[in-house]
Chain A
């Protein structure tokens, strides 16, 4: 029994210790962001690596999610003779929830895991130590550009996901199922509010971008510098990011809507 208590305590102390390290790491990350003013090229390179390279998977997913939403909405609403309201349903679902959440999950899988693996390998191959010994701060040169890029890229990707999703809904609802195009757009226009829906969706994107980038970079920098360590850090990034996105989404939705 005492052995059990000991292990239980050690487990939680370990988690708290790691959380503390991650928080201190975050402070250092935020402090290092200001150095990017002098080196915008580092940020642009990372925006390309995290944002542009994630764009294709986000656009394709957005299109299909929009199409599926329209199809499901149509099948349900037609029983009530309300099928022209699919525009509202598709747009609100995308902008408020699926846009930021699915983009966040895709971003964690595509860009977050890549950031962790890259930083973890830089640690394993002594590149981070090498930078330190050249009197170059890895926070300023390696971590901060990736962090800021993730924070900026995710809301933009989420917005594009929603936009393409609305197009996908139009494609299925209007072009295939024959809902009136004017009804599709006008219903959407009258029920989606810019401040309440679009802006809140963007705020979700910013929060998810912040959390996913933080987790990804911390996991990379904190990993055990072996191939096994890097691989489990990459897995942890995807698992923790996904759980954080889903948990935070519930909290944000409860506060916002």
Chain B
């Protein structure tokens, strides 16, 4: 199907603006097939926007995104929907449908896109729920789940169609240590056991470092650094070092751009 070989997603010279604010200014990223890749960056750098663009929910101002040999921006609606059936996405909130039970949420893509018999649907759903440890919670409504359980249920739903790639939007935000451990374990097992590609956006450095094969740090609309966790740690960029060590001041200043302090305070007295 694809001649892309080792690279599943290819982002070339991507530009995107929201209003007058430029989010991406010539972004170039290659996401390797079969690996766990994490896109790191400070809040507000457009990490979630990037996932939405890969999924075709937002259109680039210029540049291209190619997924498995298909250029997302040029697909027809039908082709885009066909591509999306092969992509799973885990939203930060889980995005479970609140009027359906956990079981029905996971069964939803199967019911929408296939005519499988009820028995088979039930088996597929239970297998996915078992894999994320929520077989016992199948009759609960999403409102009855904790944040971590909701994300696991959403993961089961994202996996039910056997996607070639799964995208995680900030999977660790707001999780307690146990849920965090469970999610870390699930993400890496799912990736290796099902042989898919995982793309994660996050700013939880340690967790991302521990399970990723490849990391890309973006800031101000471009790639600052990319490589394996070891390569990043030994990066000579001051910016990367500030980000990795979480220092409050450095190339990224503590103060937002502001007029001179003294002038602002004493200006009228002079």
Q: Are B84 and A129 in contact, CB atoms less than 8 angstroms apart?
A: no
Known contacts A127-B98, A129-B52; is-contact A134 B91 (Cβ 8 Å): no
Q: Are A132 and B98 in contact, CB atoms less than 8 angstroms apart?
A: no
Spot the interface stretch: B60-68, B108-116, B182-190: B108-116
**Max chain B Cβ within 10 angstroms of own Cβ: one of A126, A132, A133:** A133
Closest Cβ neighbor of A39 among chain B residues: B112
**Max chain A Cβ within 10 angstroms of own Cβ: one of B95, B96, B157:** B95
CB within 8 Å of B: which A132-152 residues = 132-137, 141
Q: Which residues of A contact B91 (CB under 8 A)?
A: 126, 129-130
Q: Are B81 and A126 in contact, CB atoms less than 8 angstroms apart?
A: no
Q: Are A125 and B85 in contact, CB atoms less than 8 angstroms apart?
A: no
Q: Which residues of A contact B52 (CB under 8 A)?
A: 129
Measured CA separation A136–B57 after assembly (Å): 12
Q: Are B57 and A133 in contact, CB atoms less than 8 angstroms apart?
A: yes
**Max chain A Cβ within 10 angstroms of own Cβ: one of B92, B108, B157:** B108
Please pick, from A127, A137, A141, the residue contacting B95 in the complex, using a CB distance under 8 A: A127
* Shortest Cβ gap from A80 to chain B (Å): 57
| Residue total for B at the interface (Cβ-Cβ under 8 A) | 24
Measured CA separation A131–B91 after assembly (Å): 11
**Max chain B Cβ within 10 angstroms of own Cβ: one of A134, A137, A141:** A134
| Residue total for A at the interface (Cβ-Cβ under 8 A) | 14
Q: Which residues of A contact B161 (CB under 8 A)?
A: 134
Please pick, from B88, B95, B112, B157, the residue contacting A126 in the complex, using a CB distance under 8 A: B95
Q: Which residues of A contact B97 (CB under 8 A)?
A: 127, 130-131
Q: Are A125 and B84 in contact, CB atoms less than 8 angstroms apart?
A: no
Q: Are B85 and A129 in contact, CB atoms less than 8 angstroms apart?
A: no
Measured CA separation A121–B60 after assembly (Å): 27
Closest Cβ neighbor of A49 among chain B residues: B99
Binary per-residue interface labels of chain B (48-89) against chain A in the complex, 1 for a CB within 8 Å, 0 otherwise: 000010010100000000000000000000000110110111
Measured CA separation A153–B216 after assembly (Å): 53
Q: Are A130 and B89 in contact, CB atoms less than 8 angstroms apart?
A: yes
Q: Are A134 and B93 in contact, CB atoms less than 8 angstroms apart?
A: no
Closest Cβ neighbor of A45 among chain B residues: B99
Q: Are B84 and A133 in contact, CB atoms less than 8 angstroms apart?
A: yes
Q: Are A132 and B57 in contact, CB atoms less than 8 angstroms apart?
A: yes
Measured CA separation A65–B27 after assembly (Å): 65
Q: Are B55 and A133 in contact, CB atoms less than 8 angstroms apart?
A: yes
Measured CA separation A136–B89 after assembly (Å): 13
Closest Cβ neighbor of A124 among chain B residues: B93
Q: Which residues of A contact B88 (CB under 8 A)?
A: 133
Q: Which residues of B contact A133 (CB under 8 A)?
A: 55, 57, 84, 87-89
Measured CA separation A131–B113 after assembly (Å): 12
**Max chain B Cβ within 10 angstroms of own Cβ: one of A126, A127, A130, A137:** A130
Q: Are B84 and A126 in contact, CB atoms less than 8 angstroms apart?
A: no
Q: Which residues of B contact A132 (CB under 8 A)?
A: 55, 57, 84
Q: Which residues of A contact B89 (CB under 8 A)?
A: 130, 133
* Shortest Cβ gap from B18 to chain A (Å): 13
Q: Which 4 A-B residue pairings sit nearest by Cβ, starting from the closest?
A: A130-B95, A126-B95, A135-B84, A135-B81
- What are 17 A-B pairs at a CB distance below 8 A? A125-B95, A126-B91, A127-B95, A127-B97, A129-B52, A130-B91, A130-B95, A130-B96, A130-B97, A130-B154, A131-B97, A133-B87, A134-B84, A134-B85, A135-B81, A135-B112, A137-B81
Known A132-B55, A133-B87, A135-B112; 20 more pairs at CB < 8 Å: A126-B91, A126-B92, A127-B97, A127-B98, A129-B91, A130-B89, A130-B95, A130-B96, A130-B97, A130-B154, A133-B55, A133-B88, A134-B108, A134-B109, A134-B112, A135-B81, A135-B84, A135-B85, A135-B109, A137-B81
Interface on A for B, CB 8 Å cutoff? 122, 125-127, 129-137, 141
